[in-house]
Amino acid sequence: MKSEPGAYSIDNLHRAPRRTDCWDGVRNYQARNFMRDDMRKGDLAFFYHSSCPRPGIVGIMEIARAGYPDHTAWDPREPHYDAQSDPARPRWYMVDVRYRRKAKRLLGLPELRTHPGLVGLQLLRRGNRLSVMPVSREHWELILELEAKPPPGKN
């Protein structure tokens, strides 16, 4: 799950009450479907910082509540207000996430890209712009193994 740290970082989540917050504001149908249909309470997710000097995976969180309507879509004062979303038929969904831990080190996008085992990871797909996307069990475990290794040196 991606977020721009300038808007909402893993530190924000760490400081939130009960280290839990709602993942609101997603306004993309594919990303919405992942949250609404595929995420279950107790699932784990990587927290990814995007649009920043060093984009990459910065930590792990847990889905604390499965998909439910994103009420910020109905509030005109909200930045992601959507006048077309009817409370009777919610268009946008969110989940609640709980902070688990920070990554031992940043798993930067360039490093992830160089790893042959991560070919096919949706995050690395060309032109990918989804802010929420699935990670296979195999890729998940590979990334955790990568985390345990020393960071790549500068060549």
Q: Which spans of this chain sit near DNA (rule: CB under 7 A)?
A: 2, 4, 27-30, 50-52, 55, 109-110, 113, 125-131
Q: How far apart are CA 35 and CA 93, in angstroms?
A: 7
Shortest Å distance, C-beta 19 to DNA = 23
Cβ proximity to DNA, 28 vs 136, nearer residue? 28
Cβ proximity to DNA, 110 vs 117, nearer residue? 110
Shortest Å distance, C-beta 136 to DNA = 19
Cβ proximity to DNA, 19 vs 122, nearer residue? 122
Question: Left (φ > 0), alpha (ψ -120 to 50) or beta: where does 96 sit?
Answer: beta
Shortest Å distance, C-beta 17 to DNA = 26
Shortest Å distance, C-beta 130 to DNA = 6
Q: How far apart are CA 106 and CA 151, in angstroms?
A: 8
Cβ proximity to DNA, 19 vs 115, nearer residue? 115
- Residue that the structure tokens 């998940």 belong to: 140
Strand 44-49 with 20-22, pairing = unpaired
Distance of alpha carbon 38 from its chain centroid, rounded?
14
